[in-house]
A and B are shown apart, each in its own frame.
Chain A
């Protein structure tokens, strides 16, 4: 049993490495996400940077930037397989659960990278109110983006099998992700206003449970989407 689990993890990790290498070679998703984030950030900062906004607005801007940058890149992980013609080979190489886990981990890493870039830039360009609890902000950003990745992985797979139109992902994903966005924005605004860990415990519990449930459901349903 342990050996099977270990091999599954190795399989998923191999897929993550393959995607990372591919991504570093073409740099498609990284540049799309980065430029989108930068454009939105510059627009926000240019128009509202001089005002001192309250924590709720900052949280909303931050999540708008992260959400739309994420949407522009997350569909890519499956659609590029279809476009390059490697999907069939991928289907043969590993069972669906491993494919899903690998793609999920890759998406999570991608979004982690996005947060690592966006948050410092945001702090740099906008004047945040003093006394923000940055540890909690980072924790909320990471949990929220993990939920984003968790939900969109299977949706991206569905779109790639359904005509491979990138622009479909935000439409499909929005209703599924709305609870995550609402909770994450609220939690981030509490954290930016200087809240303690107890103040955001409800939001963090929500995000964690959402992540677990959606990943479980996706794992169960992925074989239907992936196999012909």
Chain B
């Protein structure tokens, strides 16, 4: 019962956020109406990283306790993350096209979301290449952890180092983007909405993993 109420609340919240993004929030100073994509693009990117983190945590737990359900959860969360990453990349490149004229620029931020996309794809390629279930779970888990190491390098270190060499017209949103109060409210609301959406999808993934585990006759489900 409470789940249905929460879902309806989430749906209403997202509708409100979408409407507010176009009507309530004012156009940004430099970019005008183009900046509205920030309400969708940044939360998508945030959720894709979050999904990867959750998937990696499940991978670590699989390596520690060997329960197959953790591997199912890791894989399903990675699927969710992949979808969000594709959406984040697409929205980002649409923004790039209309702001800077090119769909893709190899800006450090763009590169980091591209790497995330590659990591997800490589993860699924690896999973599909292994037949044996236990081995597949193990290899995928180890890969997930190793690939995670390159993410901080790309997301945090490279933009700091190369910001001086490659000045960008847009600084990353977290670092000092002066946002109008209304924009900020809509932005935070959008962030919460997308996180809620992810939490719901992750919950579905969790229940699905339990079902798969139950079908295969696992005890600790």
In the bound complex, what is the Cα–Cα distance between A6 and B62 (angstroms)? Answer: 34
Q: When the two chains form their complex, are residues B130 and A163 in contact, meaning their CB atoms are under 8 A apart? A: yes
Contact of B126 among A151, A158, A213, A214 (CB under 8 A): A158
B182 to chain A, nearest CB (A): 38
Answer yes or no: B150 CB below 8 A from chain A CBs.
yes
Q: When the two chains form their complex, are residues A155 and B146 in contact, meaning their CB atoms are under 8 A apart? A: yes
Answer yes or no: B131 CB below 8 A from chain A CBs.
yes
Taking CB atoms, residues of chain B closer than 8 Å to A183 are 158
Q: Known: A161-B135, A178-B118. Contact between A172 and B158, CB under 8 A? A: no
A52 to chain B, nearest CB (A): 23
Answer yes or no: B29 CB below 8 A from chain A CBs.
no
Mask, A195-228, CB within 8 Å of B = 1, is 0000000100010001001100110010011000
Taking CB atoms, residues of chain A closer than 8 Å to B121 are 171
Answer yes or no: A35 CB below 8 A from chain B CBs.
no
Taking CB atoms, residues of chain A closer than 8 Å to B147 are 175-176
Answer yes or no: A117 CB below 8 A from chain B CBs.
no
Q: When the two chains form their complex, are residues B135 and A217 in contact, meaning their CB atoms are under 8 A apart? A: no
In the bound complex, what is the Cα–Cα distance between A101 and B157 (angstroms)? Answer: 28
In the bound complex, what is the Cα–Cα distance between A206 and B152 (angstroms)? Answer: 12
The interface-forming segment of B32-40, B137-145, B200-208 is B137-145
Contact of A176 among B130, B136, B146 (CB under 8 A): B146
The B contact surface, by secondary structure, is helix
Q: When the two chains form their complex, are residues A225 and B139 in contact, meaning their CB atoms are under 8 A apart? A: yes
Answer yes or no: B63 CB below 8 A from chain A CBs.
yes
Answer yes or no: B161 CB below 8 A from chain A CBs.
yes
A79 to chain B, nearest CB (A): 13
Contact of A221 among B118, B136, B146 (CB under 8 A): B146
Answer yes or no: A154 CB below 8 A from chain B CBs.
yes
In the bound complex, what is the Cα–Cα distance between A162 and B130 (angstroms)? Answer: 5
Which residues in window 94-142 of B have CB below 8 A to A? Answer: 111, 115, 118-119, 121-122, 125-126, 129-131, 135-136, 138-139, 141-142
Answer yes or no: A179 CB below 8 A from chain B CBs.
yes
Q: When the two chains form their complex, are residues A210 and B153 in contact, meaning their CB atoms are under 8 A apart? A: yes
A151 to chain B, nearest CB (A): 7
Q: When the two chains form their complex, are residues B146 and A151 in contact, meaning their CB atoms are under 8 A apart? A: yes
Taking CB atoms, residues of chain B closer than 8 Å to A155 are 143, 146
Q: When the two chains form their complex, are residues A172 and B131 in contact, meaning their CB atoms are under 8 A apart? A: no
Q: Known: A162-B129, A162-B135, A172-B126. Contact between A217 and B146, CB under 8 A? A: yes
Taking CB atoms, residues of chain B closer than 8 Å to A178 are 111, 115, 118, 150, 154
Q: Top 8 nearest A-B pairs by Cβ distance?
A: A175-B118, A162-B130, A175-B119, A179-B153, A158-B139, A221-B142, A162-B139, A179-B150
B interface residue numbers (CB < 8 A to A) = 63, 111, 115, 118-119, 121-122, 125-126, 129-131, 135-136, 138-139, 141-143, 145-147, 149-150, 153-154, 157-158, 161-162
Q: Can you offer 8 A-B residue contacts whose CB atoms are under 8 A?
A: A163-B130, A168-B129, A172-B122, A172-B143, A186-B162, A217-B145, A218-B146, A225-B138
